[in-house]
Amino acid sequence: MVCPPRPEKMRSLLPLLLLLLCEAGSRAAPKPNFVLIMADDLGIGDPGCYGNRTLRTPNIDRLAKEGVKLTQHLAASPLCTPSRAAFMTGRYPIRSGMASQSRSGVFLFLASSGGLPESEVTFARLLKNQGYATALVGKWHLGTHCRNNSDFCHHPSSHGFDHFHGIPVTNLRDCKPGQGSVFTSALRLLAFVPLQVIAVALLTLAALRWLGLLRVPGLAFAGLLLLAAAILGALLAFLHYFRPLNCVLLRNREISQQPLSYDNLTQRLTEDAARFIRRNAETPFLLVFSCLQVHTALFASKDFAGKSQHGAYGDAAEEMDWSVGQILNVLEELRLTNNTLVYFSSDQGAHVEEVTSKGEVHGGSNGIYKGGKGNNWEGGIRVPGLLRWPGVIEAGLEVDAPTSNMDVFPTVAALAGAALPQDRVIDGRDLMPLLRSQSQHSEHEFLFHYCNFYLNAVRWHPRNSSSIWKAFFFTPNFTPEGANGCFLTHVCFCNGRFITRHQPPLLFDLSTDPRERAPVTPGAEPRFWEILDTMQQAADRHARTVQAVPNQLSLPNLLWKPWLQMCCPSSSGLSCQCRQEQRDRGGRA
């Protein structure tokens, strides 16, 4: 006869049973990993899964097939720096001071003092506090220093990333010899025009003096010649030093290559991302793989150069797709696929004005959508949005509701078990109800589209309607007339003579007119004034939540400062040359 266990014995076993159950539960549901891939200037019309039939993107398309495709995924800004600030913080860039009031809306110099404030909370910082290993490989573009070249106040390491390997600023034509310059217009205005004026003045004064019509002292000629020499010297110094001083590759806080070399650059960064995953396969990790491609200067290794149907742009895009595939393969090899949320997007739309002096198109495709990078027509802000998590997210699902790259912040935080900051406005919304088909409607009833510092447009998706209204307070003046971009200035500007204001605002229904071709009129829409009034009230409510903060993209913060300049330890003066990148394979991150 078997005796039943005594109550005292059962009570003593109860804590042990609870401990075993808790341990089993924790093993059954480990924290997910996150791989967030951000392309640079990739248009929504570029990947095959969004309709392209000639550009080969099998790995990006694989994410769409095995996960969810967002068809109305929106960048919070149509420019690199503010869009990336919003992505990292889940907040409109105006809240962090990362929205410029001048023409330049991005950082161009390594030795600028502006950047993402230390007071901002990134998803990397939240996850690091939850025990995650964190890394950013690729492009940062959110500042480096504040007061000296060793404080690294804006560096990724000050924003929650254990490991950084990439470029602190951005990839520019000036970084690759023979690819031209983004400063052509500025150099013409600040150097060539003054030199021409000085030359005309010298010739005029010399003629007047020779004819005896005016007594011109020799000091006047000397002064003009000295001024011309100073301008010419500054021009030559800029052209000589810009590349080594600004086009650098960092490994954490150390320069590993100056100026950076494009030789197998995608392969080097991809290998580093793969090593990070391998090192942290047994612990939760966050990898932000921030592609340098397809921003100009375009580059591709010999395995991809000349292989696409779209010239240098297609070569770069197809190499970037290869790098996405390499990361997916590592996850599969290590059996991490089912416990990893992969996100793929672009920081803004394709740069349609990127056309070389020879007529070669170096910008991508925004599909059917109007405009592109630098403006808030749909082509500038509607970007690819793909998410994959096998077993959790339904494969092959399409979500048409408006979503934002700011939504990644609260989504990742919730899945990692991190509480959102309570001392600030978070503009992003958790994507999981949409991704799990628990909701068909976005939590974003309204979205606000900024052109740098200025509120440009409002998007409204009414709860009880299929309409998606978009009202423009102003639009950029495309040049030349009839073009699909601001080709004369290379990118559209946000104020002054470069825009046209609309009163009443220009209204579109994107559900029936996604190409934004035919503005809605009071005669065609009986609720025209009611719709605009609702959107204006929403804009007013939003404006009341925006607090004044220091402008990180002010002219003083944008300017190059010699005391913030980083150079190779082995270099002297401003030579700043170190050719070989040193690989550091050690460390947890």
Which residues carry out catalysis? 80, 141
Rounded to an integer, what distance in angstroms lies between the CA atom of residue 370 and that of residue 377?
A: 6
Instruction: List the structure tokens of 368.
Output: 């059917």
End-to-end C-alpha distance for the chain, whole angstroms = 60
| Contact criterion met (CB below 8 Å) for 74 and 447 | yes
Rounded to whole angstroms, the Cα distance separating 493 from 95 reads 20
Using CB atoms within 10 Å of the CB of residue 86, give its burial: 0 to 12 exposed, 13 to 18 middle, 19+ buried: buried
Beta-carbon contacts of 79 under 8 Å, excluding residues fewer than 6 positions away, are 105, 106, 348, 373, 374, 452
Return d(Cα 411, Cα 433) in angstroms, integer: 10
Q: Percent helix, strand and coil across the chain, each rounded to 5?
A: 35, 15, 50
Structure tokens at 455: 């509120």
Q: In whole angstroms, give the CA distance from residue 384 to residue 342.
A: 13
Q: H or E stretch including 226?
A: helix 218-246
β-pairing, 340-346 vs 285-290, is: unpaired
Structure letter (DSSP) for residue 579? -
| Lookup result for tokens 């447009």 | 457
Rounded to an integer, what distance in angstroms lies between the CA atom of residue 320 and that of residue 313? 11
